[in-house]
Chain A
Amino acid sequence: MSAAVASPLASNAALDVARVRADFPILTREVYNKPLVYLDSAASAQKPRVVIDAESRVYEEEYANVHRGVHYLSQVATDKFEATRKRIQTFLNAGDENEIVFVRGGTEGINLVAQSWGRANLKEGDEILISELEHHANIVPWHLLAAERGLVVKGIPIHDDGQIDMEAYKGLLNERTKMVALTQMSNALGIITPAAEMIALAHDAGARVMLDGCQAVSHSTVDVQALDCDFYVFSGHKIYGPTGIGALYGKAELLEAMPPWQGGGEMIARVSLEKSTYKGVPHRFEAGTPAIAQTIALKSALDYVTDLGLDRIAEHEAMLLNYATERLNAMGGITIYGTNSAKASIVSFTMDGVHPHDIGTIVDRDGVAVRVGHHCAQPVMQRYDIAATVRASFAVYNTLEEVDALVASLQGVKEMFA
């Protein structure tokens, strides 16, 4: 199964959203004397108490640098730090914990692959395929590499409903295709791509696949071995974890053949003034002191979503998405982008006669936080010939009442501009 949303059979009991909300301290605050309605989790998710506490506890009780001290605290910090690596391995069902490289986030992970794997493996005339759904983070690193190496970057088109045009994709694959850089779930539209099928097709053509899981990872169970992707990235902050930490998964045989991409401490075997030799994977890719407390706290975030159950989370979010879609369609004058049924947790729309930025400003004063703009995905905006949309994104802690609050606020916008 690729990035399937909820399997309706998977859960026993529905999510107790009131209990979940109590886990997130920030949700009790008000903005402009209105209850906060946070519908921007696709940009960054709020943090549960267990994550906040875990990060604080590191500084209060467990903090030292990792991997180099012989003293007690350094050992404690190192053990906890490496425990997150092991946790990410099981979370993604990677075959080995050494296939997990810590990075600052999805963006850095993709840059690592482009700069290290790409420079070592790609030559002039080679082709990279990216889809029209990609976030700039899965476009620009390939443009940088293409300019340096004379590579050709081609776009995989989407249908009007936002889904990948598979026939066009098949037509683009050829013996020069060396990399397919694909999102598992569009951050701008919420569309879930048929990643497993696309990966198999890429492999048949002899290409590698970089799967961007930044959006998908908090809405579905990910199994990198079942997907058979060559690389996978996600960011901790979108899955209720801290900022500054994310992970790159890479197949062991690929990572082992890749050169370092940043030099410094922590990644070397031996250094003299004339030359350096490097550690094995994954440490070869982790130069410098990492985000120690954030890495340790990321484990708490992964434990948190696992304990709640990703299937139950997905089911809850699907209910919110369906309800929001119905209510927005009933309003009239609303155009939703991304109408394919393979979709999770994001509704992206425009309102006739009102620019998204004006909508964002007005609903904000009602306490409703949505993202307006191009969502760092300008190619998909160009595909629909729009400059921007309003994006409401739903997470485990959102409620039907919050969807109502959004719709009520949008009614106010509509009246104001009528």
Chain B
Amino acid sequence: MMDDLRDLYQEVILDHGKSPRNFRHPEDCNRMAEGDNPLCGDQLTVYLKMDRGGLVEDVAFEGRGCAISMASASMMTEMVQGRNEADARALFEKFHKLVTGDDADVNGEDDEDLDKLIVLSGVREFPMRVKCATLAWHTMTAAMDGDETVTTE
């Protein structure tokens, strides 16, 4: 097995992919959006419960997709919970740079968020799969924007 494949499919990703966290539909959610990846036909729905001040009290998702998209969605729900909207959006920006290799110092130390998300950085060697990794995040921001559907195209 080649090294970049091992980087892409690390244990932690396989684990999240197989047993995604927060894979549910919270009845008290007040924002939701559906995300489509037309390339592969994958679809997922992100549910948010946000308070008036923009705090994400609960975040969950449902849908089907590849290990990369499921793991990314699962990790996103774990990390976004309890953050405010601006913070969650900033996290996506950081994550986006991480998976596209856009930012040279994205591997910077002392960043707890990146320490967790770094397991998904293997995607940057697989440009066709970046959309899989970012689908849930795009869908989350669409839910925050009040858009009900988003596509990766």
Contacts and interface: CB of A to CB of B under 8 A. Distances in A.
A354 B65 CA distance: 10
Interface in A205-231: none
A381 B40 CA distance: 11
Nearest to A372: B40
Contact of A357 (B1, B2, B4, B40): B40
A363 to B, nearest CB: 10
Contact of B2 (A32, A373, A374, A387): A32
A358 interface: yes
Contacts of A416: 1, 9, 14
Given A362-B5, A412-B1, A387 B67 contact: no
Contact of B41 (A353, A354, A388): A388
A378 B129 CA distance: 20
B66 interface: yes
B68 interface: yes
B40 A358 contact: no
Size class of the B contact interface (CB-based, 8 Å)? 20 to 34
Interface string A374-418: 100010010000011000000000000000000000001000110
Nearest to A33: B2
Interface string B63-102: 0111110100000000000000000000000000000000
Given A357-B129, A361-B126, A416-B9, A381 B2 contact: no
B18 interface: yes
Contacts of A388: 40-42
B41 A358 contact: no
Contact of A373 (B14, B39, B68, B126): B39
Contact of A355 (B2, B5, B39, B65): B65
A241 interface: no
A33 to B, nearest CB: 9
A373 B128 CA distance: 13
A400 to B, nearest CB: 24
Nearest to A415: B1
A250 B129 CA distance: 42
A415 to B, nearest CB: 9
Interface string B49-67: 0000000000000001111
A147 B95 CA distance: 42
A379 B44 CA distance: 19
A417 B40 contact: no
Interface in B8-31: 8-9, 14, 18
A417 B144 CA distance: 34
B43 interface: yes
Nearest to B9: A416
Contacts of B41: 373-374, 378, 381, 387-388
A336 to B, nearest CB: 19
Contacts of B48: none
Contacts of B39: 373
A361 B129 contact: yes
Nearest to B18: A353
Contacts, number: 55
B33 interface: no
Contacts of B136: none
Contacts of B43: 387
Nearest to B67: A358
B132 interface: yes
Contacts of A381: 41
A356 interface: yes
A357 to B, nearest CB: 4
B100 to A, nearest CB: 17
Contacts of B9: 358, 362, 416
Contacts of B65: 355, 357, 387
Interface string A9-27: 0000000000000000000
Contacts of B70: 355
A68 interface: no
Contact of B66 (A32, A358, A365, A374): A358
A361 B17 CA distance: 15
Contacts of B126: 361
A357 B66 contact: yes
B9 to A, nearest CB: 6
A381 to B, nearest CB: 6
A376 to B, nearest CB: 10
Interface of B: 1-2, 4-5, 8-9, 14, 18, 39-43, 64-68, 70, 126, 128-129, 132
Given A32-B2, A387-B41, A416-B14, 13 more contacts: A355-B64, A357-B40, A357-B42, A358-B66, A362-B5, A362-B9, A374-B41, A378-B41, A381-B41, A387-B42, A387-B65, A388-B40, A388-B41
24 contacts: A353-B18, A354-B67, A355-B67, A357-B65, A357-B68, A357-B132, A358-B9, A358-B66, A358-B67, A361-B128, A361-B129, A372-B40, A373-B40, A378-B41, A387-B40, A387-B41, A387-B42, A387-B64, A387-B65, A388-B42, A412-B1, A416-B1, A416-B14, A417-B67
Nearest first, the 4 closest Cβ-Cβ pairs linking A and B are: A355-B66, A357-B66, A374-B41, A387-B41
